[in-house]
Chains A and B, each alone.
Chain A
């Protein structure tokens, strides 16, 4: 099998190959993907080492259930669709956001707002899949989700920390996602019930000395074996053991008690705040992709009360995270994304709720590679349609990759089929790139 990331083809030839290979490759791809082992994926050559060494990171604040763009990044006060909240001027002249985000209003110089997502799919399951992979699914091929792709592109082979961590403690809408054809090596460390990873503790029945002695013995035997019969597969095997030891030693990254009280206070007492602090610790330690899911924004009833609560949480925690990253000199190398599976309807239902809506909604990108203080796209005065700069999921993913310095034309070869890292025809939004 071949899972090498290849240099980009030009756009036209890529499209031609797509049309030729889509059918031909589909059947074989499923088998190949299913057979892929994590060790083989780990052994992938052709790594863009300079990028991996650049220390770029992504923290995705996943607004699960679908936050309302009208109560966050694209307010429409004064319209019947606008709801009761007013808009406030941000620190960037001409850019206004909902009054529910007062702290973010003074930090918008680090953030670009996209107000023109039209992703069309407005049911949770399929929309999640779309916004997690950047493309519509194919039955014959499992596409990797964003975190897995970023982990593949930015993760270092010899890293002692996880490449991809997801925190999703609420149960509603919880989906682990998949690394798809990239293989299990890029599946997330998935934290659900507690913030400390389970099963990475050394067994009590094994002493620290025994644990170290066993590792030394294994290393000795591996080195002897390697001298006699070298092969990339054996390197990968050894690397996997190193990673396990690294993971076992990384439990301190999840322990926010190690942070000064002032830092913990800055993030606040909510679970989301604590998880954002863990995300910063993980990013600082070199984890390339961290997803913090804040559920559940699905406000079919009482949309405005729900957003009073959840926007307060988002506003505080996102602001604290950006402040902290900036203070540590990490913001230029860390891309902070706020995204969900869709937005919410402009029309307000009888329960003062808003329902699912994917035709004109918003997300933000902050930090690494982003031209802060910018807005891209425009919805109409009632927020019902995109009237300028329509962007789909593929374009958003291409923009994310471009912000991180990843060539969005890059292709994976899955069997004989080239799969572009961002969906076919997608293009980055250069307007918001630094």
Chain B
């Protein structure tokens, strides 16, 4: 699979904002979370796939995140709830009030036994997938910024070997946790991700929006946005930093001033051959980097800000959750 092969197979415009997406193993069915509070299934193998709303009480606000573990889908929302769904029946299985503030991200462990959520109550919580029981909660993220405003906990990732969890917040603080003891094993600071404007506009922008461990679980990529002059807009450089998880050493520090905005998603390629970042400002981007040299070797502009990105195990199918559209891309060779 070559990044330069990445091309669009389908585009499905919509009226809402789509924040997250996950597909079935065969990439024939897609689930998305929407700003209309709905969780939808799309049979994307069909020529004109229709959205089918999953049934149940559902969410009452933006569905910001989801993760699929076999036939179970778990979604998180600004309504503070996590909801379990059965992807075969399209029915809601359970819902829990999981956090005291807005849920930003949910992921599942590699063995699909647990799901992990982060929210603006600054807590990271680990849940048993089967029972919905909370297994642990921990935080290394102060509720207030140094400037006395509410902080936000946007990002969480789990390493492919399942041994580490990373959490990243508004002010650029990353904590790496042992996934068994839930003790902190490393801390990383990325202060450039947080822009505080003390004079012109007197508020902040930015924050760590994406985290991803490398395939060998030894490196952690951190995505966000660099310093912004005018914080009214997302007019700052897309910023990517890569750290050695053991030493905390920063190995890469990259900024893209061509296609600006937040890096919302990071994907490590097969054998860590490349790093894919996706996000945007008013529009979107995808950028591919060499994780050794930091060289950007392929980039595409997208018409809409990319909030979520899912790719299959073979790195062939990519589904994009974006502002008022959903896209299906492929990295397979184009058919002649």
The answer to whether A171 and B200 touch across the interface, beta carbons within 8 angstroms, is yes
Residues of A within 8 A of B304 (CB): 350
Give the residues from 144 to 175 in chain B that come closer than 8 angstroms, CB to CB, to chain A.
Answer: 147-150, 152
Partner of A301, one of B17, B147, B232: B232
The answer to whether A295 and B201 touch across the interface, beta carbons within 8 angstroms, is yes
The answer to whether A305 and B202 touch across the interface, beta carbons within 8 angstroms, is no
Q: Is B60 an interface residue (CB 8 A)?
A: yes
Q: Is B258 an interface residue (CB 8 A)?
A: no
Count chain A CB atoms within 10 A of each CB in B35, B281, B324 and give the residue with the most: B35
Closest to B281 in A: A351
Q: In the docked arrangement, what's the CA distance between A350 and B234, Å?
A: 10
Residues of B within 8 A of A80 (CB): 15-16, 35-36
The answer to whether A269 and B148 touch across the interface, beta carbons within 8 angstroms, is yes
Q: Determine how close the nearest CB of chain A comes to the CB of B2; give it in whole angstroms.
A: 29
Q: In the docked arrangement, what's the CA distance between A84 and B305, Å?
A: 17
A-side interface residues, number (CB < 8 Å): 36
Q: Is B102 an interface residue (CB 8 A)?
A: yes
Known: A171-B200, A350-B280. A300 touches B62 (CB 8 A): no
The secondary-structure label for the interface of chain A is loop
The answer to whether B200 and A172 touch across the interface, beta carbons within 8 angstroms, is yes
Q: Determine how close the nearest CB of chain A comes to the CB of B286; give it in whole angstroms.
A: 16
Known: A85-B78, A301-B205. A351 touches B200 (CB 8 A): no
The answer to whether A86 and B79 touch across the interface, beta carbons within 8 angstroms, is yes
Known: A302-B234, A306-B205, A352-B305. A170 touches B200 (CB 8 A): yes
Residues of A within 8 A of B152 (CB): 305, 308
The answer to whether B232 and A348 touch across the interface, beta carbons within 8 angstroms, is no
Give the residues from 79 to 102 in chain A that come closer than 8 angstroms, CB to CB, to chain B.
Answer: 80, 84-86
Q: In the docked arrangement, what's the CA distance between A299 and B37, Å?
A: 23
Q: In the docked arrangement, what's the CA distance between A170 and B60, Å?
A: 37
The answer to whether B149 and A351 touch across the interface, beta carbons within 8 angstroms, is no
Residues of B within 8 A of A294 (CB): 202
The answer to whether B61 and A77 touch across the interface, beta carbons within 8 angstroms, is yes
The answer to whether A302 and B17 touch across the interface, beta carbons within 8 angstroms, is no
Q: In the docked arrangement, what's the CA distance between A302 and B149, Å?
A: 15
Per-position binary interface string of chain A over residues 52-84, scored 1 when its CB falls under 8 Å from any chain B CB and 0 otherwise = 000000000000010000000000011010001
Q: Is A312 an interface residue (CB 8 A)?
A: yes
Partner of B149, one of A86, A301, A309, A350: A309
Known: A301-B281, A309-B203. A84 touches B62 (CB 8 A): yes
Residues of B within 8 A of A351 (CB): 233-234, 261, 281-282, 305
The answer to whether B61 and A170 touch across the interface, beta carbons within 8 angstroms, is no
Count chain B CB atoms within 10 A of each CB in A84, A86, A172, A306 and give the residue with the most: A84
Known: A349-B282, A351-B282. A298 touches B203 (CB 8 A): no
Q: In the docked arrangement, what's the CA distance between A299 and B79, Å?
A: 22
Q: Is A254 an interface residue (CB 8 A)?
A: no
Q: In the docked arrangement, what's the CA distance between A172 and B201, Å?
A: 6
Q: Is B29 an interface residue (CB 8 A)?
A: no
Q: Determine how close the nearest CB of chain A comes to the CB of B148; give it in whole angstroms.
A: 5
Closest to B79 in A: A86
Q: Is B323 an interface residue (CB 8 A)?
A: yes
Q: Is A189 an interface residue (CB 8 A)?
A: no
Q: In the docked arrangement, what's the CA distance between A296 and B202, Å?
A: 7
Known: A80-B16, A305-B152, A309-B149. A170 touches B199 (CB 8 A): yes
The answer to whether A268 and B35 touch across the interface, beta carbons within 8 angstroms, is no
Q: Is A191 an interface residue (CB 8 A)?
A: no
B-side interface residues, number (CB < 8 Å): 41
Residues of A within 8 A of B280 (CB): 350
Residues of B within 8 A of A296 (CB): 200-203, 232
Q: Is B139 an interface residue (CB 8 A)?
A: no
Give the residues from 297 to 340 in chain A that come closer than 8 angstroms, CB to CB, to chain B.
Answer: 298-302, 305-306, 308-310, 312-313
Residues of B within 8 A of A298 (CB): 201, 232
Q: Is B112 an interface residue (CB 8 A)?
A: no
Give the residues from 53 to 70 in chain B that come closer than 8 angstroms, CB to CB, to chain A.
Answer: 60-62, 64
Q: In the docked arrangement, what's the CA distance between A277 and B53, Å?
A: 51
Q: In the docked arrangement, what's the CA distance between A305 and B205, Å?
A: 8
Q: In the docked arrangement, what's the CA distance between A349 and B17, Å?
A: 10
Give the residues from 37 to 86 in chain B that come closer than 8 angstroms, CB to CB, to chain A.
Answer: 37, 60-62, 64, 78-79
Give the residues from 208 to 264 in chain B that come closer than 8 angstroms, CB to CB, to chain A.
Answer: 231-235, 261
The answer to whether A78 and B37 touch across the interface, beta carbons within 8 angstroms, is yes
Residues of A within 8 A of B102 (CB): 84
The answer to whether B202 and A170 touch across the interface, beta carbons within 8 angstroms, is yes
Q: Is B204 an interface residue (CB 8 A)?
A: yes
Residues of A within 8 A of B203 (CB): 296, 306, 309-310
Residues of B within 8 A of A269 (CB): 148
Q: In the docked arrangement, what's the CA distance between A309 and B197, Å?
A: 13
Give the residues from 275 to 293 in chain B that come closer than 8 angstroms, CB to CB, to chain A.
Answer: 280-283
Q: In the docked arrangement, what's the CA distance between A295 and B207, Å?
A: 21
Residues of B within 8 A of A265 (CB): none
Known: A84-B61, A351-B305, A352-B305. A300 touches B201 (CB 8 A): no
Residues of A within 8 A of B64 (CB): 84
Residues of A within 8 A of B261 (CB): 351
The answer to whether B16 and A86 touch across the interface, beta carbons within 8 angstroms, is no
Residues of B within 8 A of A302 (CB): 205, 234
Residues of B within 8 A of A300 (CB): 232-233
Closest to B64 in A: A84
Query: 27 A–B contact pairs at CB < 8 A?
Result: A65-B232, A80-B35, A84-B61, A84-B62, A170-B202, A172-B200, A270-B149, A271-B202, A301-B205, A301-B231, A301-B234, A302-B205, A302-B234, A305-B205, A305-B207, A308-B120, A308-B149, A308-B150, A309-B150, A312-B149, A350-B280, A350-B282, A350-B304, A351-B233, A351-B282, A352-B305, A353-B233
Can you name 17 extra interface pairs (CB under 8 A) apart from A171-B200, A352-B323?
A84-B102, A170-B201, A172-B200, A270-B147, A294-B202, A296-B232, A306-B205, A308-B149, A309-B204, A350-B280, A350-B281, A350-B304, A350-B323, A350-B324, A351-B261, A351-B282, A351-B305
A-B pairs, top 5 by smallest CB distance, nearest first, are: A296-B201, A84-B78, A84-B62, A301-B234, A350-B282
